[in-house]
Amino acid sequence: MKILLTVLFFSLSAFAQDAMLLSSNVQGAQYPQMTPDRRVTFRLRAADATKVQVRVELPKSVTLDMTKGDNGYWLVTTAPLPPGFWYYSVIVDGFTTLDPASKTYFGYGRECSGIEISGPDSIAAAALDVPHGTLRDVWYYSPSTKVWRRAKVYTPPGYEKQNNARFPVLYLQHGAGENETSWSNQGRETFIMDNLYSVRPEVRQMIIVNDNGIVPARNPAPATGGGRGSGRAMADNLFAEFGEILTTELIPYIDKNFRTIPDRDHRAFAGLSMGGAQAFRLGLAHLDTFAYLGAFSAAIGNLDLAKDYDGKLADPTTSQRLKLLWMGVGKQDSLHDGLLGVHQSLEKAGVKHVWVESEGGHVWGEWRGYLSQFASLLFQDTPAPKKR
């Protein structure tokens, strides 16, 4: 009992006045801590290390040296941080890795640490006292790649209650280095939608499906090395191979196993960054499948409307067929100027679209906001199922 009390006292004394734990901490972790003015203190134990740093992926990445304290602990406190979700890494004597005190989020092609900094954006994405939908892991077989694949499926609060009602579907994709877990984990997609339905009942309840847009090279596979090879092979993977999975395997699975409205007028496709490039290319290639397209900070550059996407954007029937072509990007995003150029080309050519410029960068805080905005515009001509 004496030892226990000592530990307790140390623990108490280590806390700054009014410090808060973060919701992104693992259960029981005493760090990271945040002050009311949003300064974050990181702590880790590396008794024999000579250099320890924390790198926080703010709109501009920041690397801070940690200072060695007692008992092998290293500490550092940031300047006040902007609200939002920020990936971070710790770097111990040249080893870039995770902070064991943080929940993990798949990003940058590996599991990452993250800090959720409360602010106006986070409230929209918090688990509030409203009706909640559910998130499912579903497994479906992919004949084209001969593996079982996992997708994440969010069904809205009304789905279980109204068990004869059918729902439209948004297919929503992550960015490069992320996967099918990213929209629910770091994107907080389920809470954003739950809160949106609660505050704005006119928003149409929809199913949201997240899949992995980077088709793995047979996984687990003989380790013959090499990865995906050339840029050409990478493009085939992101567009041709994923396009085949999406349109011939995933969508039929979802339409078979969920109460969807299985036609183009009740299907949207959107994605962020790399997923935005997929939304443009695959969406325009499959106008029979999707009537709504969304590109969040899309990784596309200047377009030649006459040539790119088989000239689909220059074809006036495209504008007639698409119920919504939505583009958003932050002013601090390095992709901003290229996307502004795309917007201007579309405007000049008379291609109907929605253009949103937000204040931030290439970060999850922006994409959370875009989801609310984009989803609010979807399926508005489809009557909601009657409440029972």
Hey, which residues between 158 and 187 contact a copy of itself (CB under 8 A)? 160, 163, 179, 184
Contact residue for a copy of itself among 53, 173, 195, 212 (CB under 8 A): 212
Contact residue for a copy of itself among 14, 305, 340, 349 (CB under 8 A): 14
Contact residue for a copy of itself among 201, 221, 350, 388 (CB under 8 A): 221
First CA to last CA distance, the chain: 57
Q: What is the 3-state secondary structure (H, E, C) of 38-96?
A: CCEEEEEECCCCCCEEEEECCCCCEEEECEECHHHEEEEECCCCCCEEEEEEEEECCEE
Smallest gap, in angstroms, from Cβ of residue 95 to a copy of itself? 4
Structure tokens at 376: 């609010």
CA distance 105 to 110: 8
The answer to whether 22 contacts a copy of itself (rule: CB under 8 A) is yes
The smaller minimum CB distance to a copy of itself, of residues 36 and 80, is found at: 36
The smaller minimum CB distance to a copy of itself, of residues 228 and 353, is found at: 228
Q: Which of residues 82-111 bind a copy of itself (CB under 8 A)?
A: 90, 92-104, 106, 109-111
The smaller minimum CB distance to a copy of itself, of residues 12 and 202, is found at: 12
Q: Label residues 3-20 b or e (16+ Cβ within 10 Å = b).
A: eeeeeeeeeeebeeeebe
The smaller minimum CB distance to a copy of itself, of residues 220 and 383, is found at: 220
Q: Which of residues 227-256 bind a copy of itself (CB under 8 A)?
A: 227, 229-230
The smaller minimum CB distance to a copy of itself, of residues 4 and 350, is found at: 4
Q: Which of residues 25-44 bind a copy of itself (CB under 8 A)?
A: 25-30, 33, 44
Q: Which stretch binds a copy of itself (CB under 8 A): 47-55, 277-285, 355-363, 376-384?
A: 47-55
The angle, 0 to 180 degrees and rounded to 10, between the axes of the packed helices 189-199 and 364-376 is: 40
**Closest by CA position to 259, among listed 374, 158, 180, 188:** 158
Q: Cβ(40)–Cβ(117) under 8 Å? A: yes
Residues 6 or more apart in contact with residue 178 via CB below 8 angstroms: 106, 107, 186
Contact residue for a copy of itself among 76, 124, 141, 319 (CB under 8 A): 141
Residues 6 or more apart in contact with residue 230 via CB below 8 angstroms: none
The smaller minimum CB distance to a copy of itself, of residues 33 and 78, is found at: 33
CA distance 219 to 211: 16
